[in-house]
Structure 1
Amino acid sequence: MEDIVAEANWDLFRLFFVVARTGSVNRAAQILGMSQPTLSRRLKELERYTGAPLFFRASSGVKLTQEGEDLRRSAGDMVAAFESFQRDLRSRVGQRSSVVRISATEGLTKHWLLPRVRKLRDVNSRVYLEIISTVHQQGVAASDLDFVIRMGDPGENELIGKRVASVPLGIFASEGYLAAHPAPRQLSELRDHDIIGSSADFAGLRGERAGQMQLMTHFHAAADVRSVLRVMPIANHFAAAVEGLGLALLAVPFALAEGLVRVLPQESTSMNVWLLRRRESDLRKLTRDVRRFLESEFAKSRSWLSGEHRPRRPARRKSDM
Structure 2
Amino acid sequence: MTEANWDLFRLFSVVARTGSVNRAAHELGMSQPTLSRRLKELERYVAAPLFFRASSGVKLTQEGEDLQRSAGEMMLAFDSFQRDLRSRVGQRSSVVRISATEGMTKHWLLPRVKKLRELNRRIYLEIISTVNQQSVATSDLDYVIRMGDPGENDLIGKRVADIPMGIFASERYLAARPVPRSLHDLKDHDIIGHTADFVSFRNIRPSQRHVLEYFSTAAGTRSVVRVNPVANHFAAAGVGLGLALLAVPFAQAEGLVQVLPQETVTMNVWLLRRRESDLRKLTREVRRFLEGEFAASKAWLAGTHRTSRPTRRKA
TM-score by length of 1: 0.89
Of 122, 145, 163, the residue aligned with 1:167 is 163
**Residue aligned with 2:230, SS:** coil
Q: Percent identity?
A: 77
Report 1:3-22 matches (<5 A).
Answer: 5-22=1-18
When structure 1 is superposed on structure 2, of 10-19 and 207-216 the one drifting more is 207-216
For 1:261 and 1:192, locate their aligned partners in 2 and report how far apart those are by CA, in whole Å.
Answer: 18
> Residues 164, 67 of structure 1: CA spacing in aligned structure 2 closer, same or farther, 3 A cutoff?
same
| Deviations 1:127-148 (CA, angstroms, capped at 9, x unpaired) | 1111111111112221111111
Q: CA deviation at 1:201?
A: 0.5
Q: What amino acid is the match of 1:120? A: L
For 1:28 and 1:285, locate their aligned partners in 2 and report how far apart those are by CA, in whole Å.
Answer: 35
For 2:255 and 2:105, locate their aligned partners in 1 and report how far apart those are by CA, in whole Å.
Answer: 17
For 2:189 and 2:240, locate their aligned partners in 1 and report how far apart those are by CA, in whole Å.
Answer: 12
- Is 2:94 the counterpart of 1:115? no
The answer for the alignment partner of 2:265 in structure 1 is 269
The answer for the alignment partner of 2:313 in structure 1 is none
| Deviations 1:162-192 (CA, angstroms, capped at 9, x unpaired) | 1111110000111111112232111111111
- Is 2:207 the counterpart of 1:211? yes
The answer for the alignment partner of 2:190 in structure 1 is 194
For 2:55 and 2:174, locate their aligned partners in 1 and report how far apart those are by CA, in whole Å.
Answer: 97
When structure 1 is superposed on structure 2, of 125-134 and 80-89 the one drifting more is 80-89
The answer for the alignment partner of 2:123 in structure 1 is 127
For 1:60 and 1:242, locate their aligned partners in 2 and report how far apart those are by CA, in whole Å.
Answer: 89
- Is 2:301 the counterpart of 1:305? yes
- Is 2:249 the counterpart of 1:253? yes
When structure 1 is superposed on structure 2, of 51-60 and 226-235 the one drifting more is 51-60
The answer for the alignment partner of 2:279 in structure 1 is 283
Say how many residue pairs are matched: 307
For 2:291 and 2:23, locate their aligned partners in 1 and report how far apart those are by CA, in whole Å.
Answer: 49
Contact 1:206 1:213 in 2 (8 A): no
TM-score by length of 2: 0.90
**Residue aligned with 1:155, SS:** coil
Q: What amino acid is the match of 2:60? A: L
| Deviations 1:106-128 (CA, angstroms, capped at 9, x unpaired) | 11111111111111112222211
When structure 1 is superposed on structure 2, of 18-27 and 263-272 the one drifting more is 18-27
The answer for the alignment partner of 2:134 in structure 1 is 138
The answer for the alignment partner of 1:70 in structure 2 is 66
For 1:117 and 1:177, locate their aligned partners in 2 and report how far apart those are by CA, in whole Å.
Answer: 35
> Residues 217, 42 of structure 1: CA spacing in aligned structure 2 closer, same or farther, 3 A cutoff?
same
Q: CA deviation at 1:13?
A: 0.6
Structure 2: runs of 5+ lacking an equivalent = 308-315
For 2:19 and 2:245, locate their aligned partners in 1 and report how far apart those are by CA, in whole Å.
Answer: 76
Contact 2:149 2:202 in 1 (8 A): no
Q: What amino acid is the match of 1:143? A: S
Q: What amino acid is the match of 1:204? A: S
Q: What amino acid is the match of 1:139? A: S
> Residues 30, 265 of structure 1: CA spacing in aligned structure 2 closer, same or farther, 3 A cutoff?
farther
| Deviations 1:217-273 (CA, angstroms, capped at 9, x unpaired) | 211121112111100000000111111111110000110111111111111111111
- Is 2:137 the counterpart of 1:148? no
Structure 1: runs of 5+ lacking an equivalent = 312-321
Report 1:219-234 matches (<5 A).
Answer: 219-234=215-230
The answer for the alignment partner of 1:315 in structure 2 is none
For 2:180 and 2:55, locate their aligned partners in 1 and report how far apart those are by CA, in whole Å.
Answer: 99
